């Protein structure tokens, strides 16, 4: 069995809720990270949201200065793929600021493990298949983030029950489950399924501290799970996108769930994330724009209620 069983309880002890915020391109910056950590969940952001390594250095300085020892730990998300020209620069800054948790995405995460473990940090990787989960566990990653069907951004496709069960056969370390975990009941259910933490993205786009534009937030409030279009047409990888933002840009999804678009014009100038917005299938839980603290407090209450209901069911036999 791979993985260290001591990590999840140690990390959980620093969190008010078993939740890590998912890093989101063009959405999560220092304000959201700081607000998340102060509210008691692990905040995170993609390093590429800072336009240059110099800005990243400033962000990391600010985040560390604003979070005291009681705050939840934060994470930087590093795209480790060889096509990211900033991998080495951003990694050097992560080491300089001793970022507590690094989330490695897209590519081989093994290259960052030694540097981050060298200062006592943790490295998690997000994975969408059992094969990649096994490879990451064998490379010595501390934790695995399982991207499942319905997740925002570049999504996974596996059913969460199947994915958690398979990975738990060989990995006993921290498992983070991603995909439409938008309320406290779902977070509790993720634990019951065998995960240690929920990875929450979409609900935090609507947080007042996110970098999202107001029109994006408003579209989230007006959308439900049926309004999420799974398509690889925009980035070459399967991603969940808000159908209304596709249509607003002059495109029409060919048919429900086909992933292809009709348009008079070409898609060349269309930029995913900037013009066409992403959200996961848990979008229906978003009712209003509110502070991260209020989102987390509501989830915490729902989580406590769900646990209580589970215990009552158990006590009734
Ligand atoms: C707008 C948006 C941008 C995202 N950008 C990234 C990213 O840059 N790096 C990354 O690892 N994941 C990214 N993700 C995925 C999230 O970190 C997370 O896996 C996902 O949002 C969790 O599922 P949920 O949205 O259903 O809560 C993004 C998700 C969204 C919605």
The model's confidence at residue 142, banded by pLDDT at 50, 70 and 90, is very high
The whole-number average pLDDT for the span 80-106 is: 95
- pLDDT, residue 257, reads 60
Closest C-alpha residue for ligand 1 atom 19: 22
- Report pLDDT digits (tens) over 254-265: 665 666 666 656
Position in ligand 1 atom list of the atom nearest CA 181: 27
3-state secondary structure the chain: CECCCCHHHHHHCCCCCCEEECCCCCCCCHHHHHHHHHHCCECEEEHHHCCCHHHHHHHHHHHHHHCCCCCCCCEEEEECCCCCCCHHHHHHHHHHCCCCEEEEECCCCHHHHHHHHHCCCEEEEEECCHHHHHHHHHCCCCEEEEECCCCCEECCCCCHHHHHHHHHCCECCCEEEECCCCCHHHHHHHHHCCCCEEEECHHHHCECCCCCCHHHHHHHHCCCHHHEEEECCCCCCCEEEEHHHHHHCCCEECCCCCCCEECCCCCCCCCECCCECECCHHHHHCCCCECHHHHHHHHHHHHHHHHHHHHHHHHCC
- Report pLDDT digits (tens) over 6-25: 999 999 999 999 999 999 99
* Global confidence as pTM: 0.95
**Residues above pLDDT 70, as percent of the chain:** 95
What's the 152 CA to ligand 1 centre distance in angstroms?
5
Select the more confidently predicted residue: 267 or 215. Answer: 215
The whole-number average pLDDT for the span 179-207 is: 98
Residues with CB under 6 A from ligand 1: 22-25, 27, 46, 77, 105, 126, 147, 150-153, 178-181, 199-202, 278-280, 282
- Report pLDDT digits (tens) over 241-290: 999 999 888 887 766 566 666 665 666 667 788 889 999 999 999 999 99
Closest C-alpha residue for ligand 1 atom 10: 23
Domains recognised in the chain with CATH numbers: 7-211 (3.20.20.70)
């Amino acid at each position: 069995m791979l993985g260290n069983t001591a990590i999840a309880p140690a990390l959980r002890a620093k969190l008010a809720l078993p939740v890590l915020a998912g890093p989101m391109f063009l959405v999560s910056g220092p304000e959201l990270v700081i607000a998340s950590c102060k509210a008691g969940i692990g905040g995170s952001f993609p390093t590429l949201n800072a336009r240059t390594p110099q800005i990243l250095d400033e962000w990391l300085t600010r985040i560390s200065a604003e979070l005291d020892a009681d705050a939840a730990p934060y994470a930087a998300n590093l795209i480790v793929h060889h096509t990211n020209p900033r991998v080495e620069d951003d990694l050097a800054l992560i080491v300089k600021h001793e970022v507590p948790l690094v989330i490695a995405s897209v590519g081989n995460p093994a290259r960052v493990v030694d540097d981050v473990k060298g200062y006592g940090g943790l490295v998690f990787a997000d994975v969408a298949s059992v094969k990649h989960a096994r490879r990451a566990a064998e490379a010595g990653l501390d934790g695995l983030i399982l991207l499942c069907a319905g997740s925002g951004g570049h999504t996974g496709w596996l059913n969460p029950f199947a994915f958690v069960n398979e990975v738990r056969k060989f990995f006993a370390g921290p498992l983070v489950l991603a995909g439409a975990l938008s309320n406290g009941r779902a977070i509790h259910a993720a634990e019951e399924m065998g995960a240690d933490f929920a990875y929450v993205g979409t609900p935090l786009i609507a947080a007042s501290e996110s970098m999202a534009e107001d029109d994006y937030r408003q579209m989230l409030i007006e959308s439900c799970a049926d309004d999420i279009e799974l398509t690889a047409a925009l980035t070459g990888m399967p991603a969940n996108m808000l159908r209304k933002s596709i249509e607003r840009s002059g495109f029409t999804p060919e048919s429900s769930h086909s992933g292809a678009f009709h348009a008079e014009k070409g898609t060349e100038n269309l930029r995913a994330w900037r013009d066409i917005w992403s959200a996961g299938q848990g979008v229906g839980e978003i009712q209003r724009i509110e502070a991260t603290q209020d989102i987390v407090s509501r989830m915490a209450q729902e989580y406590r209620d769900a646990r209580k209901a589970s215990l009552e069911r158990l006590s009734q036999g």
